[in-house]
Structure 1
Amino acid sequence: MSSVTLTDVGLVYPDGTVGLENINLAIADGEFVALVGPSGSGKTTLLRAIAGFLTPTAGSIRLDDTLVADRSTLVAPEKRGLGMVFQQHAVWPHWSVERNIAYPLVLARVPRAERTQRVAEVMQLVGLTGFEQRNPATLSGGQRQRVALARAIVGRPRVLLLDEALSALDEPLRDSLRLELQSLTRSIGLTVVHVTHDREEALALADRVVVLDGGRIQQVGSPVELVTRPVTAEVARFLSDATIFPGDRDRNGFVATDHPCAVPAHLLDVGSGADALSGAGMIAVLPEDITLEPGTGAPTDAVVASSLYGRASNDIVVTWQGISVRCRVPGRRYLVGETVVVGIRRAMFYDAARALVELVETR
């Protein structure tokens, strides 16, 4: 297993499009890191640069202490000792399961006896013992993805790269395979870099999550840090569906611009390093920090736009004076078209530059 170090990595395409800019990231040996971000954020570009399919135009990439890419050096993908699993599992349909999994070992000229042993070991790891001679066409989607995973790890890769590897699967199969993937990678100490558009998947699986946007890293942290201490309002919006309200803060709290939203000072998480008690900025309010009560008929009431039942809480969107607000509310299920009063239990304040200074507990 190996560590991955990216130093000042940039990538500009021939047409001038910026794919990556000033990427600095150290992934430890045995760490599971997820890359998330909106479409076009650079997460797949970053994964492909680590894999060797794209060449950085600035900076360097190292596996352990070995330089594998900079402006003048490019180690070919097949010589980096990496395993990779894609969204489409790409299992060869005319080969048996056993032959599919053994293929990397055949390329590496591993002796037949050792090949047979290693294939058997990895098939047991992914729960495919007894499927050796099966035709991939007779397997379920989850089983075929297990074949792809086994093929990726049978060569004992330095790092496992996953590119939307679970997104083509339906629930609850995807959820089941997530648990198996986490257990498997930790049991053999694999270093994993996982690109996913599924935020819940990233938070559930990863030791650390990297949030990208516009080819730049916006924040790196543990799942708990990212959910509770997002460094910008945009990170809070992307990862946690936070609602953003622009406005002004003073010693009494926060008042939104041209909107009835107001949050008293004792419910604001603000930076302890802020010198002034007033200034323009914005608040981010997480769905879990919003309460709903039956409407009173006041002009400031909100209207339920959608209401989805959940086991732990109901996922509700209300339209509040022109702003869509996402809420996760336990108990009663509000009906579409019903008027409600919106309450806020906690909000995170960001200055006008959208930077969250060190959070302090104010409640």
Structure 2
Amino acid sequence: MAFVELSQLSKSYGKLTVVDRVSLSIEKGALVCLLGPSGCGKTTTLRLVAGFVDPTGGEIRVGGRVLSAPDVTTPPERRNMSMIFQSYALWPHMTVFENVAYGLSIRGLSKADIKTRVDNILSVAKLSPLAERYPSELSGGQQQRVSLARALVVEPETLLLDEPLSNLDANLREEMRFEIRRLHDQYRYTTIYVTHDQAEAMTTADVIVVMNQGRIEQAGSAEDIYKRPRSEFVARFIGGTNILKGRRSGDQAVDWGGIKLTCGDGEFAAADETAVSIRHHDIRIATNAPVDGLNWAPGAVSRQVFLGSHRDYLIDLSNGETVRAVAPPDVAIPKGQPVWLQFPPEHCRALAQ
């Protein structure tokens, strides 16, 4: 049985629907990322779970208890949840130890119990040497770890994180992704994590829930979402991809502006018009005409950029379409040179929507 259940959850402001009949089941101890662009409804969904916002429709159940419904709302302080915001929200006049201990103090624990629990969480979060420092004396990554420790020390049933790494620079963000996953593996709290960063979601999550315009587009593991997108939106949002639009031609093929593409995966749209997704790195570039094989198309290089680990190509094809492809850094093809591209059938995925 799921621990957190969202059932037909909706939130509207006047005529504007921000969360539109979202249903989601989260197993106890799982880390679930709500992923999507700004305005997709992910933060509002999190605030609904936290109890900061009342739903217009649907229900939220945690541990079998109804916490939110249009006529029933349990206040945030009675939900046994901890929430971490984009800002660290640390008390500037308190030390690291005092910040982490604050939630235990207002719960009335003894000084001995508080010290034991705070010392333990500071050790796990690698903050023990910083216990007597103030927030102004810490780096951004250290402050974020203090925020995490403060949320975890009260032993919540559910941990909620709202873009917790958005204020960090790129290097610290990458480091903290793994730190959040490490702490989750240590404590196994049921966690809902909101982010717009696909790498963050893929690094931390057991399940990624891709949201768009207030609805869930697709939910699954990082590998499932990346390799088997069900819609054009998911394919574009997770990883670099080309969306090739054409008309169905036979059981497994699409006529893409005169180029026949055989698709080895996916589901075709009900109508004749359909789309095909293929990742940039799955396209093969050749400077000589192919002898055999499926899904070849002639073109010419219109742009080439060296990016260290690879080269990024923009290629104009004979049917008037333009696609992006990547190649190893030692494959240097100058602008204007004719090339042949292969779209391997096993990497061409038909999209139903």
Fold match by TM threshold 0.5: yes
Shift of 1:223: 1.1
Shift of 1:225: 1.0
Aligned residue type for 1:284: S
Shift of 1:8: 0.8
Partner of 2:151: 152
Identity within the alignment, %: 34
| SS of residue paired to 2:131 | coil
Stretches of structure 1 lacking an aligned partner (at least 5 in a row): 355-363
Partner of 1:348: 349
Question: Cα deviation per residue 1:203-236 (whole Å; 9 max; x = unaligned)?
Answer: 1211110011010011111111111111112211
- Separation in 2 of the partners of 1:23 and 1:335? 48
CA contact under 8 A between 1:241 and 1:286: conserved in structure 2? yes
Q: Closer, same or farther in 2 for the Cα pair 1:71/1:242, shift >3 Å?
A: same
Partner of 2:307: 309
Partner of 1:48: 47
Partner of 1:9: 9
Q: How does 1:146-295 map to 2 (within 5 A)?
A: 146-251=145-250, 253-257=253-257, 261-263=259-261, 265=262, 267-271=263-267, 279-294=272-287
| SS of residue paired to 1:153 | helix
CA contact under 8 A between 1:87 and 1:163: conserved in structure 2? yes
Aligned residue type for 2:284: T
Partner of 1:360: none
- Separation in 2 of the partners of 1:21 and 1:136? 39
Within the candidate set 330, 339, 349, 2:328 is matched to 330
| SS of residue paired to 1:185 | helix
Q: Closer, same or farther in 2 for the Cα pair 1:319/1:111, shift >3 Å?
A: farther
Question: Cα deviation per residue 1:113-149 (whole Å; 9 max; x = unaligned)?
Answer: 2111111111111000121111111111110111111
- Separation in 2 of the partners of 1:308 and 1:81? 51
Question: Cα deviation per residue 1:227-273 (whole Å; 9 max; x = unaligned)?
Answer: 1111112211111222112111213832214xx6542x3x43244xx
| SS of residue paired to 1:166 | coil
Partner of 1:357: none
Shift of 1:327: 2.7
Q: Closer, same or farther in 2 for the Cα pair 1:183/1:39, shift >3 Å?
A: same
- Separation in 2 of the partners of 1:237 and 1:74? 37
- Separation in 1 of the partners of 2:269 and 2:228? 20
Partner of 2:27: 28
Shift of 1:60: 0.3
Q: Closer, same or farther in 2 for the Cα pair 1:105/1:336, shift >3 Å?
A: farther
Shift of 1:198: 0.9
Q: Closer, same or farther in 2 for the Cα pair 1:124/1:244, shift >3 Å?
A: same
What TM-score results when the alignment is normalised by the length of structure 1?
0.86
Aligned residue type for 2:26: I
1:94 equivalenced with 2:71 (yes/no): no
- Separation in 2 of the partners of 1:316 and 1:204? 27
Q: Closer, same or farther in 2 for the Cα pair 1:275/1:192, shift >3 Å?
A: closer
CA contact under 8 A between 1:307 and 1:336: conserved in structure 2? no
- Separation in 2 of the partners of 1:112 and 1:61? 36
Shift of 1:84: 1.4
CA contact under 8 A between 1:41 and 1:213: conserved in structure 2? yes
| SS of residue paired to 1:204 | helix
- Separation in 2 of the partners of 1:134 and 1:286? 47
Q: Closer, same or farther in 2 for the Cα pair 1:138/1:289, shift >3 Å?
A: same
Shift of 1:98: 0.9
| SS of residue paired to 1:122 | helix
- Separation in 2 of the partners of 1:75 and 1:90? 24
| SS of residue paired to 1:220 | strand
CA contact under 8 A between 2:82 and 2:152: conserved in structure 1? yes
Question: Cα deviation per residue 1:46-79 (whole Å; 9 max; x = unaligned)?
Answer: 1111111111110100111111100011111121
Shift of 1:87: 1.9
Q: Closer, same or farther in 2 for the Cα pair 1:32/1:324, shift >3 Å?
A: farther
- Separation in 1 of the partners of 2:154 and 2:84? 13
Partner of 1:134: 133
| SS of residue paired to 2:342 | strand
Shift of 1:343: 2.6
Shift of 1:333: 5.2
Q: Closer, same or farther in 2 for the Cα pair 1:288/1:95, shift >3 Å?
A: same
CA contact under 8 A between 1:307 and 1:334: conserved in structure 2? no
